[in-house]
Chain A
Amino acid sequence: MSVGRVVATELKPATPHQFHFWTARDTSIGIGSIVRVEDPADAARVVFGVVTDAFAYSDLATPLHDVVSADGDPDRASTAPTIRQEIRLWTAAVLRQFPEDPLQPVPLGRVLVASDADVASALRMDAYLTGAEPTGIPVGLYTSGGLEAPVYLDSDFLLGPEAAHLNISGISGLATKTSAVEFLISSIFQHFPTHRGRVAAVCFNVKGPDLCFLDRPGELQEEDRRRYERLGVRPEPFKRVRYYAPFKPDGVNLNTLRTHPDLVGDVEPLVWGLREALDFAEVLLNKDDIDAKADAFIDFLKDRVVGQPFDDGFGNQHQVETFADLDALFRAILRGVEDSGRGDMWRTHHVATIRKVRNRLSNISTRCKGLVTDDGAVGDLPWGAFEDRGVYVIDVANVDPLGQDLVFARVVSKLRERLEHRNLGVDVVVVFVDELNKYASGDGPETHVKRMLLDISERGRYLGLALFGAEQFRSQVHRRVVGNAGTQVFGRMDADELATPGYQVLSPATKIKLATLPIGELMIRHPHFTQPIFVRFPRPAVMRGRDGVEQFPPGEDLPFEDAIVRQLMKIDRRLKPNVLKDLVASREQEDVRRALAAVRRTRPDDVLAFFRSALGSKVAADVPRERRAVPPLSPISEEPY
């Protein structure tokens, strides 16, 4: 049944890209509704459009006439026995025309609400939902007038290789950006076409407990379950989730909110050593620190020193594996240069440069304590063994900005490198990064993280690396990061943000809708859709961070001994806590940490024996002998001072 009729006047003509139609006053049509127009003269000619603007007016010639007829009393105006004739006039943007050629103005025909099939056709989804190898990923339900039609994204345009990346923006707390991404990743895992290979997701948790409970079921309402069913997505939490978090500065307690005793066992420590830090020295050292000479010296250390036997030229052999080893090398070089009296150069490097690099590098393990250790221990993502449909959550929420930079830079670089060489374990990786306003701001300083994100945005699709970025203010994110995102998602937006030039293509009505979007509704732009489309998505089937910390409150930081015991028992549950506590009692914490790191790195069969051996024998402190004071040889009694 028709709901409206296309009208065209000289001032408001129908064009190949836009048309106007009227409906009854009571209608299900609204901004974002998809409609079908039929040509009364040609049954084969059909046009689909999406409503972008709406007008209502009555036959009132001028507002003054309303005042006159009510004698200036607004209450009397409402008692008028007859309600004026009024119109609901809608403007729609053309989504698709049949036939597509020749492209002609929209016919002045009747307007119908689009059906399921019409929505698929209007959004050109038929191109990737049908055929031998469909590539549709459900993203939400288009809802209008009682109709709920699933909307699909084309995985070839979401995850590559044709286009890639998704950018989602909106007001914090109201735009449900994280929820939308969680649902979409779940949908990707269930619908990613098998012929496209294996897929995984790496999610950086940058605030609070947002992504800390992805393996736990969330609370769903009946409406959510119905939407899941309609979209063909199973409402279940992620099955393969791995959590990574650096230690706190104490080196034994994990720096994450997933520290409830029942859950903390799943969290792997993220700890990097000298080699990992040195590879990304440019991230950790700012431009003022690193001039060309220092850069050359760091390269020298990376290429010629670290991880291999090295002769310092003064008769000392070094095997540099840790920051401690590196510092020993620096000391030896500086002492050697000083003692030799041969000038200020060592192997073409000036002593001042060496001192500067020593100073900066030595500070890294202090500044990134908990993430970077100076004892060489490494806890890392399973490079080369990524699981299909696995989610790797890296919790850097409580890590200082420098540490976050290092984590982003290294993880993304490794992903890129591994995907390039096809030895990551999966073929496609979704990288989810929230707070792009912070990490890829349009007007902020040039950081390494920003360069990384730009690199993913521009080259990722060829590698199978898709960036899912989220931010509050899209206008303030680097335009190449946003511009390269093939799919753009908008939650509820701030009115000031909507006033920026990036939103000029949207009609005022669409902007108002965006500014008042309810939770769970999004506007989507996708390469196949010629106009933005509004969809509703169900609540993600995983526990929300807020609920997670209520149900699984983070555990208190454990005393040093208890934390060590927990770490060791995580490796071997047969160990006895009392034995371990006796072992570490009254030992230097540095020694204990080093021994624990060795156990973690080696994963021996006999953990206790290895730990004991790594800890070494207890060395009793020498008690200094009391010395008698030596009297002066010739006291000067006349000394006035």
Chain B
Amino acid sequence: MARLAWLDAALAAGAVPASYVPDASGGRSEAEELTGADLVEGSELAVRPLGTEPLVPSAVTFIDGIQRWAVVGYDGVVPIISAYVAAAARRRKGGRLQTVAERSRRVVITAVDGLSDNVRDALQRSGEELITLKDEVLGQPGRALTAAGIQVERLRDAVERAVAEPLAERLPADEWLVIDGILSNSAVLARHARTLGVIKSHGAQYFSGDDLKRALTLPQGHRTSVFQPHRHGSQAVYSWYVRIWPWEGHDLLYGLLRLEARAHRDSIGLADALGSWLLNERKPLSTPDARFDRLLYPIHDVETYLRSRAPQYLVADPGSRLPRTGT
């Protein structure tokens, strides 16, 4: 692991070096709860074929973010965490993607009040952005790590919004913005006429019973009726499921996407065209990523771009938990 100046200072002040990349450090989580939804298209959740012509925007900008964090030291039992979040927008024109905006942020996360004076002083003098965890997370390190993960996700959401919102505000009339994730936590994005949120993890449950069955067993090339999720984020959006690869022989969620667009009747009219568009986005495959059945290639490309620029010391090293040699 590359040594950081601020960490060296903390170690010199008495902290103990550590090297631990938590399993949850690479991606964001989604609440697994029944939130419910109101149908806005038809009287019951229906399965509809994506028959219409796909939407073909002249250019599309894809936005994604990444987060990386790792425990790099301990002062007593207080973990000292180095975190990195970044977001980028890559615009596709003529089939090729080019970066048009990006933001990143490096922070140190720890329970500052739990640190010894020397280590606290060293970190505060280092000039690094310091994010403090509340005292109640002190104790078993697991609690602190959970709290740190939440902090990192907030930071990531912030940089994603910082990249996406200015672009949305000046988006040309014939272009679209596709965001990896929900729109509903940004008023600008949620109200924009040409933004589309693509959600590939399905922790949140909007239906139950037959509706849930219909939603999760969608045949390939079909969509559900448009619905408005309850209590999802802070902004109202319309949403619908689309199946881009057949799930039979794989898993219920295989090839299943949930799309979000502004809460407007035009979104209902566009649901088929947008679904067909994403059906086209199956090629090229975003392999070797294991999520290729739901991960659009341009989003994968943005992610690859961000990963290539992320600090390498925050990437989990398969050998890092092995005993260190003397050298």
Residues of chain A touching chain B, judged by Cβ–Cβ distance below 8 Å, are 59-62, 65-66, 68-70, 76-77, 79-85
Q: CB distance A65 to B280 under 8 Å?
A: no
Complex formed: what's the CA distance from A311 to B82 in Å?
A: 114
Chain A residues, Cβ within 8 Å of B280: 79, 81
Chain B residues, Cβ within 8 Å of A76: 283
Complex formed: what's the CA distance from A61 to B286 in Å?
A: 9
- With beta carbons under 8 angstroms apart, the residue of A60, A68, A81 that contacts B92 is A81
- With beta carbons under 8 angstroms apart, the residue of B95, B283, B298, B301 that contacts A69 is B283
CB distance from B21 to the nearest CB of A (A): 22
CB distance from B298 to the nearest CB of A (A): 5
Chain B residues, Cβ within 8 Å of A69: 282-285
A-B contact pairs, 30 of them (CB 8 A): A59-B304, A60-B284, A60-B287, A61-B287, A65-B284, A65-B285, A65-B292, A66-B284, A68-B285, A69-B282, A69-B283, A69-B284, A79-B280, A79-B283, A80-B95, A80-B284, A81-B95, A81-B280, A81-B281, A81-B283, A82-B92, A82-B96, A82-B281, A82-B284, A82-B297, A82-B298, A83-B95, A85-B97, A85-B301, A85-B304
In the complex formed, the residue of B with least CB distance to A76 is: B283
Number of inter-chain CB pairs below 8 Å: 47
Q: Is B288 an interface residue (CB 8 A)?
A: yes
Q: CB distance B283 to A70 under 8 Å?
A: yes
Interface centre among B95, B287, B298 (most CB of A within 10 A): B287
Chain B residues, Cβ within 8 Å of A61: 287-288
Q: CB distance B287 to A62 under 8 Å?
A: yes
CB distance from A542 to the nearest CB of B (A): 50
The 5 closest A-B pairs by CB, nearest first: A69-B283, A61-B288, A83-B95, A80-B283, A61-B287
Interface centre among A68, A70, A82, A83 (most CB of B within 10 A): A82
Complex formed: what's the CA distance from A72 to B282 in Å?
A: 13
In the complex formed, the residue of A with least CB distance to B282 is: A69
Q: CB distance B92 to A65 under 8 Å?
A: no
Q: CB distance B285 to A83 under 8 Å?
A: no
CB distance from B214 to the nearest CB of A (A): 26
Residues of chain B touching chain A, judged by Cβ–Cβ distance below 8 Å, are 92, 95-97, 280-285, 287-288, 292, 297-298, 301, 304
What would 4 more interface pairs be, CB under 8 Å, given A70-B283, A82-B281, A85-B97? A59-B304, A66-B284, A80-B297, A82-B97
Complex formed: what's the CA distance from A85 to B99 in Å?
A: 13
In the complex formed, the residue of B with least CB distance to A70 is: B283
Chain B residues, Cβ within 8 Å of A65: 284-285, 287, 292
Complex formed: what's the CA distance from A68 to B285 in Å?
A: 8
Chain B residues, Cβ within 8 Å of A84: 284, 297
Complex formed: what's the CA distance from A408 to B230 in Å?
A: 100
Chain A residues, Cβ within 8 Å of B92: 81-82
Interface centre among A65, A80, A81, A85 (most CB of B within 10 A): A81
CB distance from A61 to the nearest CB of B (A): 4
Interface centre among A60, A79, A85 (most CB of B within 10 A): A85
In the complex formed, the residue of A with least CB distance to B296 is: A82
Chain A residues, Cβ within 8 Å of B282: 69
Chain B residues, Cβ within 8 Å of A59: 304
In the complex formed, the residue of A with least CB distance to B280 is: A81
CB distance from B220 to the nearest CB of A (A): 11
Q: CB distance B285 to A82 under 8 Å?
A: no
CB distance from B45 to the nearest CB of A (A): 29
Q: CB distance A82 to B95 under 8 Å?
A: yes
Chain A residues, Cβ within 8 Å of B301: 82, 85
In the complex formed, the residue of B with least CB distance to A58 is: B284
Complex formed: what's the CA distance from A65 to B292 in Å?
A: 10
Complex formed: what's the CA distance from A61 to B292 in Å?
A: 11
In the complex formed, the residue of B with least CB distance to A85 is: B301
Interface centre among B96, B284, B288, B301 (most CB of A within 10 A): B284
In the complex formed, the residue of A with least CB distance to B96 is: A83
In the complex formed, the residue of B with least CB distance to A86 is: B96
CB distance from B283 to the nearest CB of A (A): 4
Chain B residues, Cβ within 8 Å of A81: 92, 95, 280-281, 283
Chain B residues, Cβ within 8 Å of A80: 95, 283-284, 297
In the complex formed, the residue of B with least CB distance to A68 is: B285
Interface centre among A76, A79, A80 (most CB of B within 10 A): A80
CB distance from A79 to the nearest CB of B (A): 8
Chain B residues, Cβ within 8 Å of A79: 280, 283
Chain A residues, Cβ within 8 Å of B304: 59, 85
Complex formed: what's the CA distance from A70 to B288 in Å?
A: 16
CB distance from A188 to the nearest CB of B (A): 50
Complex formed: what's the CA distance from A80 to B284 in Å?
A: 6
Complex formed: what's the CA distance from A79 to B280 in Å?
A: 9
Chain A residues, Cβ within 8 Å of B97: 82, 85
- With beta carbons under 8 angstroms apart, the residue of B96, B283, B292 that contacts A77 is B283
Complex formed: what's the CA distance from A82 to B283 in Å?
A: 8
Chain A residues, Cβ within 8 Å of B281: 81-82
Chain A residues, Cβ within 8 Å of B287: 60-62, 65
In the complex formed, the residue of A with least CB distance to B245 is: A68
Chain A residues, Cβ within 8 Å of B285: 65-66, 68-69
Complex formed: what's the CA distance from A59 to B297 in Å?
A: 11
Chain B residues, Cβ within 8 Å of A62: 287
Complex formed: what's the CA distance from A62 to B221 in Å?
A: 25
Complex formed: what's the CA distance from A332 to B292 in Å?
A: 105
Chain A residues, Cβ within 8 Å of B298: 82
CB distance from B287 to the nearest CB of A (A): 4
Complex formed: what's the CA distance from A70 to B283 in Å?
A: 7
In the complex formed, the residue of A with least CB distance to B298 is: A82
Chain A residues, Cβ within 8 Å of B283: 69-70, 76-77, 79-81
CB distance from B291 to the nearest CB of A (A): 13
Complex formed: what's the CA distance from A68 to B288 in Å?
A: 13
Complex formed: what's the CA distance from A307 to B124 in Å?
A: 111
In the complex formed, the residue of A with least CB distance to B92 is: A82
Complex formed: what's the CA distance from A523 to B304 in Å?
A: 41
CB distance from A24 to the nearest CB of B (A): 11
CB distance from A340 to the nearest CB of B (A): 104
Chain B residues, Cβ within 8 Å of A66: 284-285
Interface centre among A60, A70, A77, A83 (most CB of B within 10 A): A83
In the complex formed, the residue of A with least CB distance to B300 is: A59
Complex formed: what's the CA distance from A80 to B301 in Å?
A: 14
Complex formed: what's the CA distance from A68 to B287 in Å?
A: 11
Complex formed: what's the CA distance from A496 to B17 in Å?
A: 62
CB distance from A195 to the nearest CB of B (A): 58
Chain B residues, Cβ within 8 Å of A83: 95-96
CB distance from B319 to the nearest CB of A (A): 15
CB distance from A108 to the nearest CB of B (A): 15
In the complex formed, the residue of B with least CB distance to A84 is: B284
Complex formed: what's the CA distance from A85 to B96 in Å?
A: 8
Complex formed: what's the CA distance from A61 to B287 in Å?
A: 6
Chain A residues, Cβ within 8 Å of B288: 61
Chain A residues, Cβ within 8 Å of B292: 65
Complex formed: what's the CA distance from A477 to B323 in Å?
A: 64
Complex formed: what's the CA distance from A61 to B284 in Å?
A: 11
CB distance from A87 to the nearest CB of B (A): 12
CB distance from B42 to the nearest CB of A (A): 30
CB distance from A463 to the nearest CB of B (A): 63
In the complex formed, the residue of A with least CB distance to B281 is: A81
Complex formed: what's the CA distance from A623 to B284 in Å?
A: 106
CB distance from B275 to the nearest CB of A (A): 15
CB distance from B31 to the nearest CB of A (A): 31
In the complex formed, the residue of A with least CB distance to B56 is: A81
In the complex formed, the residue of B with least CB distance to A83 is: B95
Complex formed: what's the CA distance from A62 to B280 in Å?
A: 20
